[in-house]
Amino acid sequence: MDAIEVIKTRRSIRSYEEKPVPKEILEDLIDCARLAPSGVNVQPCDFIVITDAETRLKIAEIADYGKFIAQAGACILVCAKRTKYYLEDGSAATQNILLAAKAHGLGSCWVAGDKKEYARKILDLVGAPDDYLLVSNIAVGYAAEEHHPRKRSLEEVIHWEKF
Ligand SMILES: Cc1cc2nc3c(=O)[nH]c(=O)nc-3n(C[C@H](O)[C@H](O)[C@H](O)COP(=O)(O)O)c2cc1C
């Protein structure tokens, strides 16, 4: 699958087969994440890969709209030091993970981290230092559903030269 097809076919997956994701693939997802663009190239992000079922269940219980994390093969926490562009940097890294997962034949879903009151609770659960923020909490695994959310059309969103 080429990059354009990966981008155009990725969708959030919220139902997973209870099947582990190979370690080499998880490692490659983080390799893709670390190569994302970063404001002033500060690279404030660290990535916590969680495969342990008990920890995933605890995270699923905390994340109000992320219950499916308990079912997915893995969950990746994208956390970042509080820098000027931490949210942009963490979001770019998150998107790289979602796309790399698709390229590896996996489903994924971005579960909110930043701005959620529960963010610190999840970081504490995995022992992240106090000066780190949770940007996202990504479910990754083998998809057990297809999803086709409505997308605004190209004609609706494109503007040439002026709004
Ligand atoms: C910042 C952000 C936070 C999100 N948080 C959640 C979440 O907590 N739970 C969830 O199921 N989906 C979450 N999503 C996924 C969106 O619901 C999803 O991207 C949107 O519905 C469009 O669907 P698509 O990803 O299949 O294109 C989040 C996405 C973003 C960008």
87 CA from centroid of ligand 1 (Å): 16
- For residue 1, what pLDDT is reported? 81
Q: What is the value of pTM for the model shown?
A: 0.98
102 touches ligand 1 (CB under 6 Å): no
- Residue 125 inside a domain? The answer is yes
- Residue 158 inside a domain? The answer is no
- Residue 70 inside a domain? The answer is yes
Give φ, ψ of 90 to 5 degrees.
-65, -35
21: DSSP letter: P
Cα–Cα dist 149/49, whole Å: 28
pLDDT per residue over 32-47, tens digit each?
Answer: 999 999 999 999 999 9
- Residue 53 inside a domain? The answer is yes
- Residue 161 inside a domain? The answer is no
68 touches ligand 1 (CB under 6 Å): no
| Domain assignment of residue 118, given as a range | 3-144
Cα–Cα dist 3/32, whole Å: 13
- Residue 149 inside a domain? The answer is no
- Residue 152 inside a domain? The answer is no
- For residue 18, what pLDDT is reported? 86
- Residue 90 inside a domain? The answer is yes
Residue 95's CATH number: 3.40.109.10
pLDDT per residue over 116-138, tens digit each?
Answer: 999 999 999 999 999 999 999 99
Ligand 1 pocket check: which of 110, 114, 117, 148 to mutate, most ligand atoms within 8 Å of Cβ?
110
Among the listed residues 68, 34, 61, 73, the one whose alpha carbon sits nearest the alpha carbon of residue 122: 61
30 CA from centroid of ligand 1 (Å): 20
Strands 45-50 and 74-81: antiparallel
Domain count, the chain: 1
pLDDT per residue over 77-109, tens digit each?
Answer: 999 999 999 999 999 999 999 999 999 999 999
